[in-house]
Structure 1
Amino acid sequence: MTDMIVRVAARGDGITANGRHAALAAPGDMLTAEGQVVPGPHHQMPPCRHFPVCGGCQLQHLDDESYAGFITDRIAGALAAQGLTTEIRPPALSPPRTRRRAALQAESKSGRIRIGFSEGSSHSLVDIQECWILAPALFALVAPLRGLLARFLRGNRRARLHLTEADQGIDLLIEGIEAEGLAAAEAITDFCQRHGVARFAIDTGLGPETRWEPEPVTITLGGVPVPMPHNSFLQATREGEAALVAAVREGIGQAGTIADLFAGLGTFALSLPGRVYAGEAARDAILSLKAAAARAQRPVFTEHRDLFRRPLTTAECDRFDAIVLDPPRAGAREQVEQLAGAKVPAIAYVSCNPSSFARDAEILCKGDYRLDWIQPVGQFRWSSHVELAARFSR
């Protein structure tokens, strides 16, 4: 008996209408009685030679239509679990090779340096020779890093590499190596000059130590250069950031006074009209936003505040015409419980976890907010990671 794959589950397996699962199957594929997948119209040839072994991608076998459908289904399923429905717009998909930040692993094995992502559900490392998700500037640094790390990474040890595209070039933080002495300093300086590295830092477990930064590293947000602390959080792609900012601006409309909660470096605070209060628990991030806003003369008031332990109260929320939320994966339950009783006309909620978003959305809707629409964003291309922006209104 042959069954058709009708959807893709949260972890990437194809599922038939009668509940059979098949790895690396796309909607429209046929699953034979023996478990063989017969490719259908939405099953594309994966572009990368490392797929499906490399854990950096899970869904390269899906064409754009079925990948967008996967994103929409993830969100719709999370909402349905909370008894919610709303308009889910077509996902905004980031193109291949646009990821501007990534964390890679490096290891010394059998006398050679390997750099890449771990295999799916494994600690084994895939030594990447190509990558269809990393921005070209990031991938261009992989081969030179093999040569540099050969000096510092020995004896089957591993290191973690954090690469980010900053305004001045690549910001590189390496965890798990030691590089002491004049020869090491000269090697690092030569590497950075040769390959256009904006900042080079090493973390041996006591925090990042900068070894190279000829000029202060910044990231431009909302047209404002913001000082960038080590290993800062940024939206994964510029296209994804632009889609989320556009959705947030639409969600709040022409609000005059806005609270940006979990503000980070100011991705939204520096792109919003009117006066903005920005609350953030990460001290380095909020100080960077404060300095950048002051230098650009933007009307942004910043506060170093842990919104899990000390959320804005309902009375404090009522001082604003709109509120923007961009919490981590756990969501913003403590803050949302305060918001549910507030009279704020509009809320724009940005989430990287449909499940925690749906839980928070249910709390807001019980407080008589209406979930107007959701804009999905697929900036972690070909992964099962889903992001979204949504509008709630009174």
Structure 2
Amino acid sequence: MSLILRVAARGDGVADDGRHAPLSAPGDTLTETGEVVPGPHHQTPPCRHFPTCGGCQLQQLDDESYAAFVADRIASALDAQGLTAPLRPVLLSPPNTRRRATLHAERGLIGFTAEASHQIVDMRECHILAPPLFALVAPLRALFQRLGLKRRADVHLALADQGPDILVTGFAPQGLEAAEALTGFCERHGVARFSVDDGLGAETRWEPQPVTITLGGVPVGFPPGGFLQATREGEDALVAAVVEAVAGAKTVADLFAGLGTFTFALPGKVYAAEGARDALFALKAAAHLRGRAVFPEHRDLYRRPLTAAELDRFDAVVLDPPRAGAREQAAALAACTVGTIAYVSCNPSSFARDAKAMVAAGWRIDWIQPVGQFRWSTHVELAARFVR
């Protein structure tokens, strides 16, 4: 008999004798034959689709052990780079709060795919989606059957200020009957916008009023399929950490600004750099309409990162790069002399890689705020404050 000590990055429990056990939790016992005997932190998974559905990997963990997993993912990534840092208590998003998700549909099926598979798990319940989004699953299944969907399509769902926003990629039904079916569906189910994209760009079929997402108290035009933090609770946690990190700054550079998740919550004058044109234009329009001191620039920070001299014009820098991290920008960040850097990351490994370069140049990780907004998944986010 051996004891499960922790959960590894891919979700398997690791025993004290080195064996790995899927679907186990810290405190479980692993028999000689590999059977998992539940311990004090092993909960009964709430969803009938677990563990087949790939939307969740860790429903067997209670909140305490799941929070420990989130913290351990960050600590382990830092340790792999020879780093340590103070970790704050993990902030977990509650169940049924996911306001952004991509489902898959084909031949009467709709849902997430199975773990490490293209097979669609036909969704009949979900404990992570926000109720307004889950309420659309059965009606969408019926709609696609009526429209004759046979090949696979992706269904991008988001909760905007006006209600559910739907973008279907890989399927663009044509004709009067399809148009009437889409209109009726949207009217019945309070859809804010319905767009389709067959490979030539998003085409909006229904949008009674312009769709927005409120960021930092500012309504921002939300492009079809646009990015927003997965939960409101997760966004609030990350924004609060960033605002705390750069408190007192009169000029801030917001790199990889997106639609302005952090931009509109930041103090003073804000320079916002973003490579996606639709997001930048939406941010720029919202800032102009509200008379905010925001100065947007369309800039690919991978091909043309800000130089140390450019960064030195600001009191603080905020960056929230994609999962690949900000390797190209990190060199200049390491060399610059700004007062504070707030680094938001959805990948502890790429964060730790970039942090190593910055620490080697004289920066210190003041603190890290772990955030678990992708509940029961192995996906971990964080916000960190760097100081000289």
TM-score for the superposition, normalised by structure 1:
0.98
Residue 373 of structure 2: aligned partner:
379
Distance (Å, rounded) in 2 between the aligned partners of 1:205 and 1:153 = 19
| Aligned pairs for 1:13-52 within 5 A | 13-52=12-51
Q: Which runs of 5+ in 1 are unaligned?
A: none
Residue 172 of structure 1: aligned partner:
166
The sequence identity of aligned pairs, in percent, is 69
Q: CA deviation at 1:186?
A: 0.9
SS of aligned partner of 2:220: strand
Distance (Å, rounded) in 1 between the aligned partners of 2:345 and 2:232 = 17
Residue 126 of structure 1: aligned partner:
121
Quick check: 1:224 aligned with 2:218? yes
Residue 180 of structure 2: aligned partner:
186
Distance (Å, rounded) in 2 between the aligned partners of 1:363 and 1:264 = 25
Distance (Å, rounded) in 2 between the aligned partners of 1:62 and 1:142 = 26
Residue 9 of structure 2: aligned partner:
10
SS of aligned partner of 1:87: coil
SS of aligned partner of 1:216: coil
For each residue in 1:293-345, what CA deviation from the matched residue of structure 2 results, as whole angstroms up to 9, or x when unmatched? 11111110000000010011000000000000100000001111011111011
Bigger mean CA offset, 262-271 vs 180-189: 180-189
CA contact under 8 A between 1:153 and 1:177: conserved in structure 2? no
Residue 153 of structure 2: aligned partner:
159
Distance (Å, rounded) in 2 between the aligned partners of 1:342 and 1:120 = 43
Residue 269 of structure 2: aligned partner:
275
CA contact under 8 A between 2:276 and 2:298: conserved in structure 1? yes
Amino acid at match of 2:35: Q
Amino acid at match of 1:16: A
For each residue in 1:123-163, what CA deviation from the matched residue of structure 2 results, as whole angstroms up to 9, or x when unmatched? 111111110000000000001111110122344x2111001
Residue 100 of structure 2: aligned partner:
101
SS of aligned partner of 1:131: coil
CA contact under 8 A between 1:219 and 1:226: conserved in structure 2? yes
Q: Which runs of 5+ in 2 are unaligned?
A: none
| Aligned pairs for 1:55-70 within 5 A | 55-70=54-69
Query: 127, 141, 144: which is aligned to 2:139?
Result: 144
Amino acid at match of 1:71: V
Quick check: 1:340 aligned with 2:334? yes
Distance (Å, rounded) in 2 between the aligned partners of 1:59 and 1:298 = 42
Q: CA deviation at 1:17?
A: 1.9
Q: CA deviation at 1:90?
A: 1.1
Distance (Å, rounded) in 1 between the aligned partners of 2:231 and 2:172 = 31
Residue 204 of structure 2: aligned partner:
210
SS of aligned partner of 1:88: coil
Q: CA deviation at 1:100?
A: 0.3
Q: Which runs of 4+ in 1 moved over 6 A?
A: none
Bigger mean CA offset, 123-132 vs 319-328: 123-132
Distance (Å, rounded) in 1 between the aligned partners of 2:21 and 2:185 = 46
Distance (Å, rounded) in 2 between the aligned partners of 1:123 and 1:312 = 40
Distance (Å, rounded) in 2 between the aligned partners of 1:165 and 1:280 = 23
SS of aligned partner of 1:270: helix
Quick check: 1:289 aligned with 2:279? no
Q: CA deviation at 1:106?
A: 0.7
CA contact under 8 A between 2:193 and 2:207: conserved in structure 1? yes
Distance (Å, rounded) in 2 between the aligned partners of 1:104 and 1:357 = 28
Bigger mean CA offset, 29-38 vs 123-132: 123-132
For each residue in 1:243-281, what CA deviation from the matched residue of structure 2 results, as whole angstroms up to 9, or x when unmatched? 000000111111000000000000000011111000000
For each residue in 1:10-66, what CA deviation from the matched residue of structure 2 results, as whole angstroms up to 9, or x when unmatched? 010000122101010000000000000000000000011111111100000000000
SS of aligned partner of 1:391: strand
Bigger mean CA offset, 172-181 vs 327-336: 172-181
Distance (Å, rounded) in 1 between the aligned partners of 2:79 and 2:169 = 41
Q: CA deviation at 1:178?
A: 2.9
SS of aligned partner of 2:223: coil
Query: 226, 243, 247: which is aligned to 1:249?
Result: 243
Q: CA deviation at 1:107?
A: 1.0
Q: CA deviation at 1:379?
A: 0.2
For each residue in 1:63-86, what CA deviation from the matched residue of structure 2 results, as whole angstroms up to 9, or x when unmatched? 000000001110000000111001
Distance (Å, rounded) in 2 between the aligned partners of 1:136 and 1:19 = 41
Distance (Å, rounded) in 2 between the aligned partners of 1:176 and 1:278 = 32
CA contact under 8 A between 2:154 and 2:168: conserved in structure 1? yes
Distance (Å, rounded) in 2 between the aligned partners of 1:331 and 1:105 = 27
Quick check: 1:361 aligned with 2:355? yes
SS of aligned partner of 1:197: coil
Amino acid at match of 2:77: A
CA contact under 8 A between 1:107 and 1:153: conserved in structure 2? no
Amino acid at match of 1:356: S
Residue 91 of structure 1: aligned partner:
90
CA contact under 8 A between 2:149 and 2:171: conserved in structure 1? no
CA contact under 8 A between 2:77 and 2:348: conserved in structure 1? yes
